Structure 1
Amino acid sequence: MSIATGIALITGSAQGIGRSIALRLARDGFDIALNDVSSKREQLRAVADEVDKIGRRTLLVPADVSVEQDVKGMVQDVSKQLGGLDVMVANAGIGRLKSLITTELEDWDRTMAVNARGPFLCYKYAAQQMIKQGRGGRIIGASSVLGRSAVPICAPYAASKFALRGLTQSAALELGKYKITVNAYAPGLIKTPMTEALEVDIAEADMEMFNVAISRLSTRAIEAESQPEEIASIVSYLASKEAHFITGKTMRKFQDF
């Protein structure tokens, strides 16, 4: 096994974009801490097996990113068992397709808890650990094209992703003096288990508004279906030493306008 590039923690890494990020960072030489909710422990173990085959150390840290003590304990466990924390990828997220007037308060609160409070807690406790280590670090969050330009029938999701961009910019300004960069990535439509699960919502959606949303999301310069690995390549660069001068940015998927 080669010398590790560092230690990376990826939330929501049991599937989809998170899984692809974990595997890409493992290939880049990072030891990998894998997080998701406890109900996805078996999926996490499967990803850990893939990382093991690449030749990197792994650690499973199931936790709910919306719960402060879970996130605090997760960062402590990673730092103690793997020897620190160099890259935090706050990737975990949820989404629904529902009109504003039919969205329940519970839907709003849960979306904001996972997609906005979760990254805040991940940024906070990762920053504390990185400052204590004194060797800088990389904090990276999951925004969305809907965090730059919203569409109908996804108000809570869009609001949470706009919030992530503001969090990222503010944190970048605070943490730069510690040599910690803070950036985000903003995927367009990516084929993942989460997007496939939206089929139930689509069946119940206002089709006029749904078609408006899809038309706005489908404008692209390159006609090809986006894959999670493409987002992983962006994260790979942001996590690298070469990206030490990039901070406070939200990297939008290049082919979407």
Structure 2
Amino acid sequence: MTITGKVALVTGAGQGIGRGIALRLAREGADVALVDIKEDKLVAVAREIATIGRKATVFMADVSLRDSVFAAVNHAERALGGFDIMVNNAGIAQVKPISDVTADELDQIMRINVGGVLWGIQAAARKFLERRQPGKIINASSIAGHDGFALLGVYSATKFAVRALTQAAAREFAADGITVNAYCPGVVGTDMWVEIDKRMSLLTGAGIGETYKKYVGGIALGRAETPEDVAGLVAFLAGPDADYMTGQAPLIDGGLVYR
């Protein structure tokens, strides 16, 4: 069973995990609305989707702004002729001791990681209800949404919050045929982890690459995660085989955190 002919929207689709998810959904048969703040990267991903034989449209949006997220969903429906799947993937990391986090830093990461998911849930649910159809909402959490990690305390808090929003939204929208789930990646070899490693180096004195190597060394399957690994789980959550699954936040980390 596939998602052929469905319309999906992926935030943070210009690179990393978001790009991997967008490409996988296109390979599964979906047309994809690509949302990010970097237009050049969105255009490049759209070209890749075109080579797969699916439609893509791009939309510049800051997910911390509610109106921008609603506009992105409306654009997806107009440009691609429907709306079926919302992937709230966009997010940022923050590496800092809890004692040093400033008010501005807290506000920024909460607005993007939590606010962006909340606005995405709202916008997608409203669109599904307007169209009188079921739908799927899929949110980016993390292994840091199951365990709080040192020097990633506020980031961890945002990812715990995503799990809470996922569970609450699943309960609120179940009667409307809308499922809400999350995915929880581990150590993924993307630009975000390059930055995490650099910040850890500055704070702990570890050499560049040592923190990344340390975490990868704890993975039972013996390698770092790829965006494609994450995208496989998201494709499942987006498809009909996950129709009876809601309010869940499965780990996809190669065996690093166990629940």
TM-score using structure 1 length = 0.92
CA contact (8 A) 1:99 1:152 kept: yes
CA contact (8 A) 1:12 1:35 kept: yes
Q: Give the SS at the match of 1:32.
A: strand
Two-structure CA RMSD over aligned residues (Å) = 2.0
Q: Does 1:239 align with 2:245?
A: no
Report % sequence identity.
37
Q: How is 1:52-63 mapped onto 2 (pairs within 5 angstroms)?
A: 52-63=50-61
Cα distance, 1:83 vs. partner?
A: 1.6
CA contact (8 A) 2:216 2:223 kept: no
Q: Give the SS at the match of 2:36.
A: coil
**Which consecutive residues of structure 1, in runs of 5 or more, have no partner in the other structure?**
none
Cα distance, 1:255 vs. partner?
A: 2.1
Counterpart in the other structure of 2:147: 149
| Distance verdict in 2 for CA 1:199–1:225, change over 3 Å | closer
1:182-241 Cα deviation digits (max 9, x unpaired): 000000110111111234312321359xx9998678533211221110000000000001
1:57-96 Cα deviation digits (max 9, x unpaired): 1110110000011111111111122122100000000002
Letter in 2 for 1:246: M
State the distance in 2 between where 1:11 and 1:80 align: 17
Letter in 1 for 2:101: T
Counterpart in the other structure of 1:76: 74
Counterpart in the other structure of 2:248: 249
1:33-57 Cα deviation digits (max 9, x unpaired): 00001xx100110000000000111
Q: How is 1:1-257 mapped onto 2 (pairs within 5 angstroms)?
A: 4-37=4-37, 40-207=38-205, 219-253=218-252, 254-257=254-257
CA contact (8 A) 1:151 1:216 kept: no
State the distance in 1 between where 2:110 and 2:9 align: 21
State the distance in 1 between where 2:215 and 2:80 align: 43
State the distance in 2 between where 1:65 and 1:33 align: 14
In the comparison of the two structures, how many residue pairs are matched? 252
Q: Give the SS at the match of 1:245.
A: coil
CA contact (8 A) 2:201 2:211 kept: no
CA contact (8 A) 1:51 1:58 kept: yes
State the distance in 1 between where 2:175 and 2:218 align: 39
